[in-house]
Structures are given as structure tokens and as C-alpha cells.
């Protein structure tokens, strides 16, 4: 996170286009607002738009505006986000969801810094900074244009998921307790929060603390005040909870392929199961195959697949 802060400080002094990468809930819009707030454009507008929540037919009008009579219901000229934000910044959240046609128009704007309103012929020039964000890998995403990716990826800021910076959890909890008027948190509740995988990242943590403060009415947060998705009572360390948290972590990992998620989780789970069985059987394949209830040749094939042959002594 210190590296993230250093990049924010450095990019604030420029007008460079910024691409913010990170899972949902990691704070991509907060980064965009920080860049705008500390830049020379801070006195100008900051306009944010979620590219994934607006239908394709309306998105072009939202970004570029439209002329009177451009479509049914267009009773007057309406400026878009780019025009409204002139002199400031525009934050394009989930830019990876743009359609191919929308990508072409955005690329043209980035090259010329001008556009035409929907239904218009007049070229409108604006002075804005573009900050884009996504939870996807745009370089490998299809059908995302490579030339647009390079236009957006002038300065790249990557936000780590909360599970990769667990030491920040107590600091974030203290901040949210102050924000929502909480008085404190018990040690067992804090330990449960630190052990959870947080697939929803900081946003999920914030919601959990806000909920707990409401339930405790300002008193100390205890384990029973936490959401069931975070901790299962009365025994948060049971096997089902640990398995659920592991699956959550596998599913929300940055390298989890969204189009092949089942096999990704299955292979990770299977590899660890085989590794543990071999450890318990001192590397003996005959004992391990009997322990697992599978054929020895199947075990050997999977060991070769996962690079576990060194675990076996025969």
C-alpha cells in the first residue's frame, strides 16, 4: 500500500491517464478521487460512471451527451459526463465492460480529446483527465482492444486484495469504528476478522463493522455480532468454515480463470489432498492410494501432473 500511495503522489503532478486495477471492493474509486483531489484539477468537477451498470444504448449518451431529437425522449440537448467534467477528471469504473463500439469511440476521444454528441455533427473539445478502473486483466481480455489498453495503461496502479495485506485489517477496523461510533472490539472477534478470506475486500469489512456497531449500540463488538459469512458460531474453527474460507480464497484469487473456475478450484484442492495423503503415508504410494481409495496408477498419474513425485519413495 505504501507503493500505491507513492504512485498516487507521483501521478497527481501530471495529467497522465491512469489505469487502476484491483478486485471489487479494494477501493479503486477512492484512489481515483485521491488523484483528482491532490492534482491541479482539484477545483474542477469529478465525474464517476460505472460502465457495467448502464445499458450499452444509454452509455454513449451518458458519456458524450446528446442533441435534441437524437432519439425518442431526447426533448432537449443534454451534456454528457465528459462535457460536464471539463477542467476536471472522469472516472470510468469497470472499463473492461465496454462494448467494442464504445471502445472505438473512447479510443478516438483519447487520441483527439474531442467528440460528437449523439445525434450531432459538431465536434466538442474538452480538457479532462481520464482515470479508468477494472477488475479484469485487460491485456488478455477479449474482445478488449489492445490499442485502447495501451492508451489507458499510461500509469498503472494495482490495489492488492485485503487477504494479501491482513496486517491492515486492525487499522481499517479502528478507522471504521471511529467512523461509525463504535467503542471497541474484543480479541476473539478481531482474530475471526483477521482469519477470514474477505472476498468482498475492504467494502465487505466496512459493511461488517457498520453492522456490528449497529447491533452492539456502541458497546464492544464481540464474535456473536459478526456476520455469519465471516464466522460460524458457536464453533468458528469447524471444518465446514475452514473449507468455505479456502474456497472463497481460491475463487477470489487474481489468477482464478473466470471461464474455467471449476477446474481451477478442483485442481488446487486435489493437489493439496494428494500432498497431505502422501505426507501421512510417508510417501508410500501403495498406502496413499489405499488411504484415498483410488487406483495406484491413477495416483501416480496425478502425482506427475502436479509435480509431486518427489514426495514418494515408492
pLDDT at 255: 67
- The answer to whether 314 touches 284, Cβ cutoff 8 Å, is yes
pLDDT at 103: 95
- The answer to whether 277 touches 307, Cβ cutoff 8 Å, is no
CA pair distance 183, 107, nearest whole angstrom:
50
Q: Three-class SS string for the chain?
A: CHHHHHHHHHHHCCCCCEEEECCCCCCHHHHHHHHHHCCCCCCCCEEEEECCCCCHHHHHHHHHCECCCCCCCCCCCECCHHHHCCCCEEEEECHHHCCHHHHHHHHHHHHHCEEECECCCCEEECCCEEEEEECCCCCCCCCCCHHHHHHHCCEEEECCCHHHCHHHHHHHHHHHHHHHCCCCECHHHHHHHHHCCCCCHHHHHHHHHHHHHHHHCCCCECHHHCCCCCCCCCCCCCHHHHHHHHHHHHHCCCCCCHHHHHHHHHHHHHHHHHHHHHHHCCCCHHHHHHHHCCCHHHHHHHHHHHCCHHHCCC
CA pair distance 3, 112, nearest whole angstrom:
32
Grid coordinates belonging to 147: 490499442
Q: Which residue has the cell 478450484?
A: 265
pLDDT at 233: 46
Domain ranges of the chain: 2-160, 165-246, 258-311
> Span 2-160: which CATH code?
3.40.50.300
C-alpha angle with apex 146: 142 to 151, nearest 5 degrees?
Answer: 130
CATH architecture of 165-246: Orthogonal Bundle (1.10)
- Which CATH superfamily does the domain covering 258-311 fall into? Homeodomain-like (1.10.10.60)
pLDDT at 240: 62
pLDDT tens, N- to C-terminus, the chain (314 residues): 999 999 999 999 999 999 999 998 999 999 999 999 999 999 999 999 999 889 888 999 999 999 998 888 888 999 999 999 999 999 999 999 999 999 999 999 999 999 999 998 899 999 999 999 998 888 877 789 999 999 999 999 999 999 999 999 999 999 999 999 988 999 999 999 998 889 889 999 999 999 999 999 878 999 989 988 887 644 444 556 666 777 777 677 666 676 677 777 777 778 888 888 888 887 888 888 888 888 888 888 889 888 888 644 44
pLDDT at 273: 86
CA pair distance 42, 102, nearest whole angstrom:
28
pLDDT at 249: 72
pLDDT at 238: 56
Amino acid at each position: 500500500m505504501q507503493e500505491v500511495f507513492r504512485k498516487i503522489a507521483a501521478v497527481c503532478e501530471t495529467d497522465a491517464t491512469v489505469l487502476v486495477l484491483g478486485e471489487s471492493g479494494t477501493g479503486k474509486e477512492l484512489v481515483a478521487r485521491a488523484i483528482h483531489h491532490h492534482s491541479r484539477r482539484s477545483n474542477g468537477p469529478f465525474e464517476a460512471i460505472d460502465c457495467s451498470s448502464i445499458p450499452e444504448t444509454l452509455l454513449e449518451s451518458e458519456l458524450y451527451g446528446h442533441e435534441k431529437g437524437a432519439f425518442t425522449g431526447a426533448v432537449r440537448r443534454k451534456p454528457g459526463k465528459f462535457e460536464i467534467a471539463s477542467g476536471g477528471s472522469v472516472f470510468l469504473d469497470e472499463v473492461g465492460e465496454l462494448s467494442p463500439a464504445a471502445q472505438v469511440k473512447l479510443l478516438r476521444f483519447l487520441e483527439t480529446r474531442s467528440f460528437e454528441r449523439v445525434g450531432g455533427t459538431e465536434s466538442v473539445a474538452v480538457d479532462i483527465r481520464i482515470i479508468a478502473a477494472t477488475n479484469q486483466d485487460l491485456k488478455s481480455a477479449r474482445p478488449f482492444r489492445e490499442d485502447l489498453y495501451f492508451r489507458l495503461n499510461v500509469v498503472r496502479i494495482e490495489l492488492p486484495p485485503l487477504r494479501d495485506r491482513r496486517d491492515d485489517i486492525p487499522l481499517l477496523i479502528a478507522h471504521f469504528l471511529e467512523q461509525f461510533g463504535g467503542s471497541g472490539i474484543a480479541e476473539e472477534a478481531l482474530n475471526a476478522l483477521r482469519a477470514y478470506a474477505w472476498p468482498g475486500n475492504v467494502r465487505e469489512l466496512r459493511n461488517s463493522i457498520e453492522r456490528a456497531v449497529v447491533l452492539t449500540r456502541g458497546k464492544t463488538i464481540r464474535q456473536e455480532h459478526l456476520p455469519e459469512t465471516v464466522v460460524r458460531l458457536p464453533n468458528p474453527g469447524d471444518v465446514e468454515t475452514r473449507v468455505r474460507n479456502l474456497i472463497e480464497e481460491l475463487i477470489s484469487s487474481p489468477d482464478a480463470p473466470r471461464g474455467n473456475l471449476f477446474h481451477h478450484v478442483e485442481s488446487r484442492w486435489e493437489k493439496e489432498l494428494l500432498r497431505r495423503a502422501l505426507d501421512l503415508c510417508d510417501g508410500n504410494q501403495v498406502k496413499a492410494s489405499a488411504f484415498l481409495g483410488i487406483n495406484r496408477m491413477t495416483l501416480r498419474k496425478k502425482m506427475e501432473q502436479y509435480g509431486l513425485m518427489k514426495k514418494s519413495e515408492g
